[in-house]
Chain A
């Protein structure tokens, strides 16, 4: 099909609308038509007198009485979310590692249908996305939102109820998949009957956030709040539309599939990671982020451009040309929000490199933030037709997906957990050295994982494009890289086990310090 004038117009229209919206925003900021968040707003997460000293358990920032009791209100729900999240992290990692091994040792686990690659890998994905990163991200949300709004969490019981329902949903979902009951779409495998439970769980998370937002004691909504509050609305909308049974069919279902799957990354996991980093980086360092007004452009540009990139998963496929081009163009436009976030987060860290040495949580979070920039740049480039034709059906894509969902989102959330847990429980981690081990295991493991799949994927793609080579060549050449991936994945899994060990040991240890929220004298 050629691009008809109508469709060409539509394509141009979408791009122009997004561009105009962004221009309008910049004009409004330049002419002070809207209240532009300034550096004073950026300081709304600090208390007066909160200096540049490091925010570590041994040397905590003091909170004044106004905030007293805030952390206490959210500590319970947050700890439940973290515990369940880490459970699914371990469960998902083991399944991911098993799936990886199966690709180069195909007869290792062929005795049972439950353990076949197609199910193992799917249980891995659903465990880590819906079980781990969504819940760890929600933990960060429920920890940070009351703090930036200077008010206790409202409807905390509802969060606990949501956690219960959500986990039952995830458990039922992965059990269904392992037993062969699946909706059969990538990222949407959990049967829609079980998805009803997940939707109810999600509603139980949204209501307390809205209630807390409405009760806030500060006028300004700090940047993390924009990402979180929008993200928790975007996810239910995506999830419900995508799971309505009988509505989607054939190729329309494929476009819906990738509209959903990429938006789960872009409009759910990314806001979780970016919002968390936007809070903890300045908070731990003790200095406001570099250029607060840029963050506004970053947020709206993310919403406008990221929401339309999904069809780059169908480049060269049986979908309308204009639609693919639309997603390619918006993928390239993603440079705008990503650079905006990069300016803010990386400059803040780069000016305070001393803090990376002093704070392990910051080390995780900053590493994750850098990987957000890298993953996004890589994603934009990968969407170009000339690049995509090589990488599209290969392991390269899996490497890229893990750069985003793991090295960015999960690393930020690891840091958030190490930062939150001592403050929520009033206990130090019993094995602080294991935190450093966790960091290096996952960083080295991920590097091995990523470079194996990236190099292997490119070679695989080039072999498939070469008509003179039989298809078998693309499989045979890949094997050492698949083994490399298993090695990297094994190191990452080991790191996750260290996190779990520290958490379990902490649960059984005695309380050694007072909750930070109780009035304390500032560090001398």
Chain B
């Protein structure tokens, strides 16, 4: 190769082609599939809590995308049904995640609806699960001598409770818990919901092959 311009044009054309296939066409298809019926926009408090979730980087250990039963036992673990594109219509930035150092949170509001549990767990995860490696978030809470009216006091086992006074939740902690409590995608998915059905298709094919073998 000896000329710069053809090299530059062809390189950019190839990337444009990839952008068309990986971003633009899927974007149009996802747009067309619309919002899942049953999905509600975030309330103001939930949106604030989601911002706390994003800012603390919860994404780096928690996914929000339960898998299909043909692939993994996410449903059996109580993480909820396999999600579809329409379930994320109000999400920006998306928080699908690529790690499960901790469990999937797409339906944490179903699984752990208690505000008290969530607050204790955020203040000190090891107060609830000794094996947990989740960070503690003490800075989302305040240490006071006495709770003021309207304060939400965090219940703590003696080993993690302060010697005197109480631990109360700051607004960020309350918002974050409101967001987590709202993570419930228990409505029925749309019939034409968009998701990777590769594993279901593979399982169906396997099933057919087995049936064909059995009938021989």
Contact = CB atoms under 8 A, between A and B. Distances in A.
Interface stretch (A250-258, A343-351, A438-446, A486-494): A250-258
B93 A184 contact: yes
Contacts of B198: 315-316, 321, 324-325, 385
B2 A219 contact: yes
B187 interface: no
B199 A389 contact: yes
B133 A479 contact: yes
Nearest to B133: A106
A259 to B, nearest CB: 4
B88 to A, nearest CB: 4
B92 A250 contact: yes
B103 A471 contact: yes
Interface in A100-155: 102-104, 106-107, 110-113, 116-119, 121-122
A479 B101 CA distance: 11
Nearest to A189: B57
Interface in A1-27: 1-3, 7, 10, 14, 17
Contacts of B14: 303-304, 307
B100 A180 contact: no
Interface stretch (A70-78, A164-172, A225-233, A352-360): A225-233
B112 interface: no
Interface in B69-124: 71-73, 76-77, 82-85, 87-103
B193 to A, nearest CB: 7
B209 interface: no
Contacts of A308: 18, 21-22
Interface string B133-169: 1111111000000000000000000000000000000
Interface string A321-357: 1011111000000000000000000000000000000
Contact of A104 (B26, B73, B133, B193): B133
A14 B65 CA distance: 27
Given A106-B135, A221-B4, A252 B23 contact: yes
B21 A1 contact: no
Interface size class on chain B is 35 or more
A234 to B, nearest CB: 6
A216 B205 CA distance: 58
A249 B92 contact: yes
B19 interface: yes
Nearest to A241: B19
A66 B160 CA distance: 73
Nearest to A467: B73
B68 interface: yes
A474 to B, nearest CB: 8
A320 interface: yes
A233 B133 contact: no
Contact of A113 (B56, B77, B197): B56
A122 B71 contact: no
Contact of B26 (A3, A103, A319): A319
Given A106-B134, A180-B55, A183-B93, A255 B27 contact: yes
A1 B2 contact: no
B196 A314 contact: yes
B179 to A, nearest CB: 13
Given A119-B56, A253-B94, A102 B135 contact: yes
Contact of A259 (B3, B18, B95, B136): B18
B8 A316 contact: no
23 contacts: A3-B201, A106-B126, A117-B135, A121-B60, A181-B55, A185-B94, A213-B4, A221-B2, A241-B23, A249-B92, A251-B94, A252-B30, A257-B94, A263-B15, A307-B15, A308-B18, A313-B98, A315-B196, A319-B30, A324-B196, A389-B72, A471-B103, A476-B131
Given A226-B1, A252-B31, A397-B98, 20 more contacts: A7-B29, A118-B60, A182-B54, A186-B60, A229-B8, A234-B15, A237-B15, A241-B23, A250-B90, A252-B27, A253-B93, A317-B83, A318-B195, A320-B195, A320-B196, A385-B198, A389-B72, A393-B100, A465-B72, A467-B76
- 4 nearest A-B residue pairs (beta carbon): A118-B57, A184-B93, A307-B18, A467-B73
